[in-house]
Structure 1
Amino acid sequence: MAMTPLMSQQAAAWLLEAGCVEVRTDAPFVLPSGWASPVYMDATRLISLPTIRRELMKQGVQRLLDAGALQGLSAVAGGESSGIAFAAWFAEKLDMPLQYVRKRAVGSRQIEGTVEPGGKVLLVDDMVSAGQYKLSFIDALRAQGARVEDLFVVFDYACFGSDAVLAQHGVRVHALCNWQDVLAMAFQRGGFSVEQLAVWQTFLQDPAKWSLAHGGIGK
């Protein structure tokens, strides 16, 4: 069963139900990558919500199966720190070895766990925005001999070019939903003001222009 718009909407609904979405109409969020955005996704809240996280992980496994990303898989790796819990749930569900990758090496070591040279590793994190910070995890795994071809995230901003950035490095992004999905569900469910929805829509019409106009980068 392929990932369908209905499944993306369900994932978006779960993220809204979990309280993961925040919208500002005054000062924007400035992401670590430098992009400015009026909306922010705090997917780490899911670690405290077992029912929702189980459903999302089930959907994630199906998404990866449909894409062929689990074929020949040797291990699952989580990015420090938010990706570690998600990777652990995946590794347990798939009965796979687990590693986690630090943002920076501690001493001479950046990866915890045993990496099998030549083995295919699925990188897992909670979300991706611009994609640049995922490259440090990918580079560290590849330096130890792992093959990294796929990244799974629950949520993809899908407006800052992350897919293109990672594709240049031979990595496919697999996400359950993005801001367009969440916005569509927010209109259905309510819970946000007219002003919040308006600024959210304006941002998604031209994220680069919006970011530049609010003190962020534009490319």
Structure 2
Amino acid sequence: MIPSSYPDDAQMAQMAARMLLDIRAVHFNTDELFTHASGKQAPTYIDCRKLISYPRIRSTLMDFLTCKVMRAAGFEAFDNVAGGETAGIPFAALVAERMALPMSYVRKKPKGYGRAAQIEGEMHEGERVLLVEDLTTDGGSKLKFVDAIRTAGADCAHTAVVFYYGIFPETEARLAEHGVTLHWLTTWADVIAEARRAGDFTEATLTEVERFLSDPEGWRASRGLS
């Protein structure tokens, strides 16, 4: 069912941040750093995949994401909802269910056997596709998925995520140059504001995390990290 009412953007951002904190999807540690997929170390890590294990939270967030996209893009703006392999697949399925649309998913690269497909499920030429993912950092992986959708003959002008880092100023411009609009529920700034309000972490930890987020490369350099 498509939700008919929803909070404003600011309230959705705060509530989404609270939910991520409640399920301990947010990790801050300024002493024992996390290694990200890029190989770089950071005092921050977020695990949006945990959301699928919490039915009430995932349902609320998918209602929010569906409503936010439809409010911005239109109620009849899409013909297909695609998830990016792998984290985006469950969220795409949940959004597609709410929009009453077909769902497909996009592989990171064509599989090397059978049909050598990169798009799984039904996606037809000329369809307007919404790409759904769990999160985005600088938007790079989104462009690869968008290109695969366009290569298949469909159109993709919108991507939606639960969490957007919001620390790389070029991200939205980079996507816009590629003809893609980014929609999101909450960011690091929202999470830190909510964590500070509720006392989820010490002030010293939050202050140091903010220093990192304001200048990740400079923060790493100050610690002798590459």
Shared fold, TM over 0.5: yes
Query: What root-mean-square deviation, in Å, do the aligned CA atoms of Structure 1 and Structure 2 show?
Result: 1.9
Pick aligned residue for 1:168 from 165, 174, 177: 177
Pick aligned residue for 1:74 from 76, 79, 84: 79
Answer with 198-207 or 96-105: which moved more. 198-207
**1:196 Cα deviation from its structure 2 partner:** 1.6
Pick aligned residue for 1:149 from 150, 157, 173: 157
- The superposition leaves residues 30-73 of structure 1 with CA deviations (integer Å, 9 ceiling, x where unpaired) of 43346653211100000000000111011111111221255331
1:60 paired residue number? 65
Secondary structure at the aligned position of 1:106 is classed as coil
Q: Is the 8 A contact 2:167 2:214 kept in 1?
A: no
For structure 2, the 5+ residue unaligned runs are 1-5
1:185-204, aligned counterparts within 5 Å? 185-204=194-213
1:1-219, aligned counterparts within 5 Å? 3-33=8-38, 36-107=41-112, 108-160=116-168, 161-213=170-222, 215-216=225-226
Amino acid aligned to 1:116: H
**1:26 Cα deviation from its structure 2 partner:** 2.1
Q: Is the 8 A contact 1:2 1:63 kept in 2?
A: no
Q: Is the 8 A contact 2:80 2:128 kept in 1?
A: yes
For structure 1, the 5+ residue unaligned runs are none
Secondary structure at the aligned position of 2:58 is classed as helix
Secondary structure at the aligned position of 1:73 is classed as coil
**1:27 Cα deviation from its structure 2 partner:** 4.4
Secondary structure at the aligned position of 1:32 is classed as coil
Q: Is the 8 A contact 1:25 1:195 kept in 2?
A: no
TM-score by length of 2: 0.88
Relative to structure 1, the CA distance from residue 110 to residue 16 in structure 2 (aligned partners, 3 Å threshold; closer, same or farther) is same
Answer with 13-22 or 36-45: which moved more. 36-45
Distance in structure 1 (CA, Å) of the matches to 2:40 and 2:167 = 10
Amino acid aligned to 1:124: V
Distance in structure 2 (CA, Å) of the matches to 1:194 and 1:185 = 12
Amino acid aligned to 2:182: V
Q: Is the 8 A contact 1:118 1:145 kept in 2?
A: yes
Relative to structure 1, the CA distance from residue 213 to residue 166 in structure 2 (aligned partners, 3 Å threshold; closer, same or farther) is farther
- Structure number with the higher strand fraction is 1
**1:111 Cα deviation from its structure 2 partner:** 0.9
How many residues were matched structurally? 216
Relative to structure 1, the CA distance from residue 211 to residue 109 in structure 2 (aligned partners, 3 Å threshold; closer, same or farther) is farther
Q: Is the 8 A contact 2:196 2:203 kept in 1?
A: no
